[in-house]
């Protein structure tokens, strides 16, 4: 009989795969699955067991005994501490293989699909330097010095960053200047437990195609003393900095942005180009993190929708219209549904600015708006939690000819696809798209056709 492993014990294991959450997968001698942080498939490693459960265990690599051929040197000097990127030590082709497996495994084990039509992942052209937005927590170290960076994995301890190799390199000097600005003006730094201090986060955006930049300070208060002078200094140093904003978030907890954002210098938005359209993007606007991949995603959705000039398309969870406007090129009409008022306003502005006249945008929850509409084609791009059950029920009742489902979560995608297929749809294809190189996250586009049972 194999002795049970003990917490704190060192074990030697072979890493066989990567899990959906980013950890490596191995087996303990007693048969339990072991999830290992900072591991690469093919590694033989000495691992310290940090948490044991009845059916699985969690560990951390203490040292790599034999490195996998897929192990590479991370581009980031703090990759072993920063919790933002899980896979910088994994060669990019191996990342793509693991992401495709994530989607396949979710469809098989959670969706109950047997013959899974999952295509190879569409890779990023630039697996580094692709992020057009970065939001950094701000804190103080033990010496009371201001630090800006990302959190360590599973903690709120900030790992200081001088630059981030995953974000657009044009943001690196702005990040350094923002840190200097905070120190120069002596703004107090927010502390979570006492809920005191001003500066909580700084958020940086850049238009990949336009180079325009936007800076937002998230504060625990209404006023940031001296911000106008600071903003003027930053805009003088960075001519592409279109605006400086202040967002007020007085709430406790992990939510980054509060409900109110005001522009204190310049304009409160940048513009970027996608599929021939120019989009206005504000501080809190959802916009895909990699513009060039967002363009590929939009092309995939338009191709999958296959709308003709006689067809009506519904774009559910439409945001600011980044899919609606490309869809409108071939459709008779596109109706976007979005629950965030400011996003609906921006979507309408974007349609007008691009002379798109066959798009309408409705404000409201999809589960509330969808029942009153009809369409030939339905595009879904829900948040990570997937579609509300009422949305699935409404889709099956409305029975559009084609459903195109964009998802950032393989688990909820598998759940919702199962329900749609059980309701009579046929799953034609699933195309993963890598939006988030160096991390375990994966986007997918699934295409379903209405079956003969309707």
How is residue 173 annotated by DSSP?
Answer: H
3-class secondary structure, 421: helix
260 with 297, same domain: the answer is no
Query: Which position has the token pair 């997918």?
Result: 444
**pLDDT tens per residue across all 454 residues of the chain:** 355 677 888 999 999 999 988 999 999 988 899 999 999 999 999 999 999 998 899 999 999 999 999 999 999 999 988 889 999 999 999 999 999 999 999 999 999 999 888 999 999 999 999 999 999 999 999 898 999 999 988 788 999 998 999 999 999 999 999 999 999 999 999 999 999 999 999 999 999 999 999 999 999 999 999 999 999 999 999 999 999 999 999 999 889 999 999 999 999 999 999 999 999 999 999 999 999 999 999 999 999 999 999 999 999 999 999 999 999 999 999 999 999 999 999 999 999 999 999 999 999 999 999 999 999 999 999 999 999 999 999 999 999 999 999 999 999 999 999 999 999 999 999 999 999 999 999 999 999 999 877 6
Does 363 share its domain with 334?
yes
Question: Is there a single domain that holds both residue 308 and residue 438?
Answer: yes
Specify the CATH number for the domain of residue 253: 2.40.50.1070
Q: Could you tell me which of 10, 50, 44 has the C-alpha nearest to residue 26?
A: 44
Q: Are residues 307 and 356 in the same domain?
A: yes
Structural domain includes residue 2:
no
pLDDT at 117: 86
Shared domain for 348 and 319, answered yes or no, is: yes
Instruction: Give pLDDT, residue 346.
Output: 96
Between strands 333-338 and 359-363, the pairing is parallel
Which burial class, exposed, middle or buried, applies to 329 when counting CB atoms under 10 A from its CB (0-12, 13-18, 19+)?
middle
Same-domain status, 316 and 411:
yes
Separation CA 304–CA 401 (nearest Å): 12
Domain end (from 274, 301, 332): 274
Query: Residue 357 has what DSSP assignment?
Result: -
Query: Annotated binding site, which residues?
Result: 288, 317, 338, 381
Q: What are phi and psi of 48, to 5 degrees?
A: -95, 130
Residue 307: CATH number of its domain: 3.40.50.150
pLDDT at 154 (0 to 100):
79
- Tell me which residue has tokens 């930049």: 213
Residues 107 and 169 in one domain: no
Tell me whether residue 226 is in a domain: yes
Q: Say if residue 109 is in the same domain as residue 158.
A: no
CA distance 437 to 84: 11
According to the model, what pLDDT value does residue 1 have? Answer: 37
| 119 plus 229 within the same structural domain | no
Q: What gap in Å lies between CA 208 and CA 197, rounded to an integer?
A: 33
pLDDT of residue 80: 86
CA 360, 284, 379 angle in degrees (round to 5)? Answer: 35
Q: Is 64 left (phi over 0), alpha (psi -120 to 50) or beta?
A: beta
Q: Do 146 and 192 belong to one domain?
A: yes
Contact 53, 59 (CB under 8 A): no
Annotated binding residues for S-adenosyl-L-methionine, as ranges? 288, 317, 338, 381
> Which of 247, 274, 301 lies at the terminal end of a domain, its last residue?
274
66 lies in some domain? yes
Report the domain count for the chain.
3
82 is known as an active-site residue: no
**DSSP string of 97-148?**
HHHHHHHHHHHHHTT--SS--BPPPB--S-SSS-BSEEEEEEEE-TTS-EEE
Q: How far is CA 369 from CA 307, 373, 394, in A?
A: 21, 7, 10
Q: Which residues pair with 362 in a beta bridge?
A: 337
Instruction: Name residue, tokens 């029975």.
Output: 399
Q: Is the dihedral of CA 347, 349, 350, 352 positive or negative?
A: positive
Going 364 to 366 to 372 to 376, the CA torsion angle's sign is positive
> 357 and 380: one domain?
yes
Question: Residue 91 falls within a domain, yes or no?
Answer: no
Q: Which residues of 154-188 are buried (b: 16+ CB within 10 A; e: fewer)?
A: eeeebbbbeebbbbbebbbebbebbbebbeeeebe
Q: Is the residue at 408 inside a domain? A: yes
Domain span including residue 243: 133-274
Question: Which residue do the tokens 């008022």 mark?
Answer: 341
DSSP, residue by residue, 246-282:
EEE----SS----SEEEEEEE-SEEEEEETTEEEEEE
Same domain for 139 and 116, yes or no, is no
Judge whether 76 lies within some domain. no
Q: Is 4 helix (H, G, I), strand (E, B) or coil?
A: coil
Per the residue annotation, which of 181, 245, 290, 408 is the catalytic one? Answer: 408
**What is residue 4's predicted lDDT score, i.e. its pLDDT?**
67
What is the distance between the terminal CA atoms of the chain, rounded to a whole angstrom?
A: 56
86 forms beta bridges with: none
Residues with Cβ within 8 Å of residue 179, at least 6 apart in sequence = 146, 148
Specify whether the backbone of 38 is left (phi greater than 0), alpha (psi in -120 to 50) or beta. Answer: left
Q: Is the dihedral of CA 90, 93, 96, 97 positive or negative?
A: negative
Domain boundary among 240, 274, 308: 274
User: 């991370």: which residue's tokens?
Assistant: 74
Separation between Cα atoms, residue 127 and residue 290, nearest integer Å: 10
Question: Residue 161 domain-assigned?
Answer: yes
78 lies in a domain?
no
């Amino acid at each position: 009989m194999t002795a049970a492993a003990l917490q704190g014990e060192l074990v030697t294991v072979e890493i066989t795969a990567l899990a959906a959450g980013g950890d490596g997968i191995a087996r303990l001698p007693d048969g339990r699955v072991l999830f290992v942080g900072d591991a690469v498939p093919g590694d033989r490693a000495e691992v310290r067991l940090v948490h044991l459960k009845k059916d699985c265990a969690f560990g951390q690599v203490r040292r790599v005994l034999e490195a996998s051929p897929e192990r590479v040197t991370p581009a980031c000097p703090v990759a072993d501490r920063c919790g933002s990127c899980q896979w910088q030590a994994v060669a990019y082709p191996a990342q793509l293989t693991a992401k495709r497996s994530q989607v396949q495994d979710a469809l098989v084990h959670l969706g109950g699909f047997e013959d899974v039509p999952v295509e190879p992942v569409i890779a990023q052209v630039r697996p580094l330097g692709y992020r057009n937005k970065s939001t950094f927590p701000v804190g103080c170290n033990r010496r009371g010095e201001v630090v800006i960076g990302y959190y360590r994995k599973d903690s709120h301890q900030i790992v200081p960053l001088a630059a981030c190799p995953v974000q657009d390199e044009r943001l690196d000097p702005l990040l350094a200047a923002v840190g200097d600005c905070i120190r120069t003006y002596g703004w107090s730094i927010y502390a979570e437990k006492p809920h005191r201090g001003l500066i909580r986060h700084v958020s940086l955006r850049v238009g990949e195609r336009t180079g325009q930049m936007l800076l937002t300070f998230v504060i625990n208060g209404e006023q940031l003393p001296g911000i106008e002078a600071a903003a003027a200094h930053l805009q003088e140093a960075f001519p592409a900095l279109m605006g400086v904003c202040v967002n007020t978030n007085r709430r406790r907890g992990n939510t980054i942005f509060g409900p109110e954002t005001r522009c204190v210098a310049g304009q409160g938005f940048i513009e970027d180009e996608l599929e021939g359209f120019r989009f206005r993007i504000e501080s809190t606007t959802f916009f895909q993190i990699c513009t060039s991949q967002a363009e590929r995603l939009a092309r995939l959705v338009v191709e999958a929708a296959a709308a003709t000039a006689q067809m009506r398309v519904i774009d559910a969870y439409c945001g600011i219209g980044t899919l609606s406007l490309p869809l409108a090129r071939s459709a008779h009409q596109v109706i976007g549904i979005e629950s965030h008022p400011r996003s609906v306003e921006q979507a309408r502005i974007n349609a007008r600015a691009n002379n798109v006249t066959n798009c309408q945008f409705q404000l409201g929850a999809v589960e509330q708006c969808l029942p009153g509409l009809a369409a030939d084609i339905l595009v879904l791009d829900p948040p990570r939690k997937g579609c509300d059950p009422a949305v699935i029920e409404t889709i099956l009742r409305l029975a559009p000819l084609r459903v195109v489902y964009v998802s950032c979560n393989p688990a909820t995608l598998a759940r919702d696809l199962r329900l749609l297929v059980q309701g009579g749809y046929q799953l034609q294809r699933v195309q993963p798209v890598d939006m988030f190189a160096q991390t375990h996250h994966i986007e997918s586009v699934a295409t379903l056709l209405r079956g003969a049972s309707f």
